[in-house]
Structure 1
């Protein structure tokens, strides 16, 4: 029997003390994110929602600020998968501000008895973006292994104009990151990596035509000499998820990369998502996918990225 959908975009958190919860809420309010309580990872609640939503498998990720916490999160994430192997997968976090530590974490994760299903990175960490030259050794290792890399916007980005960054700032953060990666040939030089950008790649699909039109003009710095064809090839290689963006973001993304490169993401497990917002977004995914002939396609596309996960989901 075929499984239900794969959701590539689920979140978890490490257990926290009451003091840490209070600090989390205080920091969120300082960043204009007006939550009433700190989020907790409650697998039973997430599974209950997934059952109702027709989600058979959910990929989890969490990228803490420090390398030590990041390693703890990866270990905790693997323990979740061990307990629920047919329902959860793990995209292990990498500390991209410390390339040497990132290489060590890849090796550590890939020598575990139970291994993650892929890796997760954030657009900017410690002032280092994903197009930075220092990360080429990390991408080379992941390219050699043919890994899937899930790219999440910077969750610690401070919003502008008194509003929280998840509202619109993260969309421009993602667009800026993709553009920088294009000019640094990341997608060309490491073609065996499958990059999945969350939230329909933010604002980038709407701006991709502008990058193609103007990106190789003489007034644009282009130190690696990319051509318009190089830009087209790089753009067409990426994948996007649909989290919190399908209503107006999915159609530009489909035009940019094709329906085959769009995978379902719910953004489950964080305060900026509720059952209502996830269901409205999922309805938009179905409606737009149906225009291409199959309302279920986007929900199943993720299994092509993670074939072993499909086997687990059917067990």
Structure 2
């Protein structure tokens, strides 16, 4: 029997070739060099002729000139068995199609550390009024104002998977009281309290910081609506590092403008989704310039350590796949 064929974008493979050499796994690597050329067994072949059994979806496979090539492979490879995703979510159509074809799909939580650090940094910046202090320095002024402490604040983290757990661990290290929200808790979540989604609205009034780290599902879309924000504690901070579809942005803007909410951190939002999925600019969106919104381009997970972690994860999962392990860690299902 031929060795399984594992498809990887050549730029990604070249960077981590020493790791693949050290792993010395019994596979054939098909390296996608361009939309027209793949390297298999030392020879140039058409990407459409690659007998793909497994695919590693690196960023090069999802964006840029190789995107359509990988999409075609995922849609047409007759013997595709397993795909390793780059992120934690499975709600994008490409990954849903992989599952519908009957191929196995594993997700990755390698950005959890990066996202948790992002959340702590952005909340600290607001609590400490860092923007005002920078302006004071530029004006050569030295105000002696108090700043808010995280110590003894209460955080409600909606979604206690890998990302939510990393955030909870760090918030508790600062002395915060953390309330976790999860449909099916394991009992091992690093929180002080655990509640069900049905209890969230009645608990919002206790939280100084509310963080969204849950998946986007029909049940959670626009869950942060006018009623949700009205029930939040006056002067609290809202953070969404999950999906834009969870938030009614008009309701959020109204709550910020009224002074009920103090601040919002949006790493996912309509501006980002318009550009990512439709290549449309939303230069007139009030999200760009609102003084109480920190806007970032879905980059909370872009810590430099994620590259090593995803490579180690892929090689480990590839080893498990070859050994016939079922299910694989963090395997997704329809």
Tell me which interval the TM-score lies in, with the shorter structure as reference length: 0.3 to 0.5
More helix by share: 1
Q: Larger relative contact order (C-alpha < 8 A, sep ≥ 6)? A: 1
TM-score, normalised to structure 2, is 0.31
TM-score (structure 1 length as normaliser): 0.33
Structure label with greater radius of gyration: 2
